[in-house]
C-alpha cells in the first residue's frame, strides 16, 4: 500500500525504515560523541597540567571537532533519506571559503586601522620624522599617514608605502633630521 504525500508516492515501509535508521544514527552518534567529549576532556586536562596546551585552545579544539562530527552525522542522515548531499556539501564548503576570505580581508583592514590609532596615541613616529625599520633597513622620512598606510620618502626620492600594522612587527629607530642644504643667495 502506497501513500501519496504532496503528489509523491511513498512506501510506508520505506518511510518507517528511514525513520528507524535516523533515530538509531542520531542516538548512536549522541552516545559516541558524549564518550568522545569525555575522552578529549581528559586528554586536554592532562595536557593542561603539563602546560603543553592552554585551556582556551583545548576548548576551541573540542568545539570545532564536535561541530564537525555532528555535521558528518547530519550528512549521513541526509544520505539515509536519499538526499543528494553533493550540492549541499559544495554550498557549505563554498560558504566557508567566502567567509574565510572575508575574515582575512577584514582582519587586515581592522589591524591596520587599529595600528594607526595606536601610532597616533603613542606617537612612535610622525610626519617629517626620519626613521629606519629593521631588519629590512628601510630608511626614509615619513611624508604621509592615513588609516591604512604610512609613506616613507627615501633619500633617492622613492616612496615606500608601508601598512600600519607593520610598525608593530618591526623595530623602528628614530633618526636625526638631515641637515638642510644652505640656501644660495
pLDDT of residue 29: 95
Q: What domains, with CATH codes, occur in the chain?
A: 1-83 (no CATH), 84-176 (2.30.30.60)
Question: Is the pLDDT at 19 greater than 70, yes or no?
Answer: yes
Residue 53 pLDDT: 65
β 3-5/159-163 pair status = unpaired
- Taking only the tens place, the pLDDT of each residue in 33-81 is 999 989 988 888 887 777 666 677 778 888 889 998 998 899 899 889 8
What pLDDT sits at residue 165? 92
Task: Please tell me the least confidently modeled range out of 8-12, 131-135, 136-140.
Answer: 8-12
Average pLDDT score, the chain: 87
Neighbours of 21 (CB within 10 A): 14
Nearest C-alpha neighbor of 143 from the set 165, 156, 167, 125: 125
Task: Give the Cα separation of 158 and 90 in Å (integer).
Answer: 47
Cα dist from 62 to 26, 31, 54, 71, 104, whole Å: 19, 16, 13, 14, 23
d(CA 65, CA 100): 18
At 42, list the grid cell. 581528559
Whether 18 has a pLDDT exceeding 80, the answer reads yes
Q: What percent of the chain has pLDDT over 70?
A: 95
Residue 167 has which C-alpha cell? Answer: 610598525
From CA 64, how far away is CA 70, in angstroms rounded? 10
Q: What local confidence, expressed as pLDDT, does residue 185 receive?
A: 61
Average pLDDT over residues 146-171: 93
Amino acid at each position: 500500500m502506497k501513500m501519496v504525500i504532496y503528489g509523491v508516492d511513498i512506501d510506508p515501509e520505506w518511510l518507517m525504515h528511514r525513520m528507524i535508521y535516523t533515530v538509531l544514527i542520531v542516538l548512536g552518534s549522541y552516545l559516541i560523541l558524549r564518550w568522545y567529549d569525555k575522552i578529549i576532556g581528559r586528554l586536554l586536562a592532562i595536557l593542561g597540567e603539563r602546560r603543553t596546551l592552554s585551556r582556551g585552545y583545548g576548548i576551541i579544539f573540542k568545539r570545532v571537532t564536535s561541530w564537525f562530527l555532528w555535521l558528518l552525522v547530519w550528512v549521513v542522515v541526509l544520505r539515509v533519506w536519499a538526499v543528494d548531499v553533493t550540492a549541499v556539501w559544495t554550498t557549505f564548503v563554498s560558504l566557508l571559503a567566502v567567509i574565510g576570505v572575508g575574515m582575512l580581508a577584514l582582519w587586515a583592514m581592522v589591524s591596520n586601522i587599529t595600528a594607526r590609532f595606536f601610532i597616533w596615541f603613542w606617537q612612535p613616529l610622525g610626519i617629517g620624522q626620519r626613521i629606519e625599520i629593521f631588519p629590512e633597513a628601510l630608511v626614509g622620512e615619513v611624508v604621509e599617514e592615513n588609516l591604512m598606510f604610512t609613506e616613507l620618502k627615501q633619500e633617492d626620492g622613492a616612496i615606500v608605502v608601508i601598512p600600519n600594522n607593520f610598525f608593530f612587527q618591526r623595530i623602528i629607530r628614530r633618526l636625526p633630521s638631515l641637515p638642510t642644504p644652505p640656501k644660495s643667495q
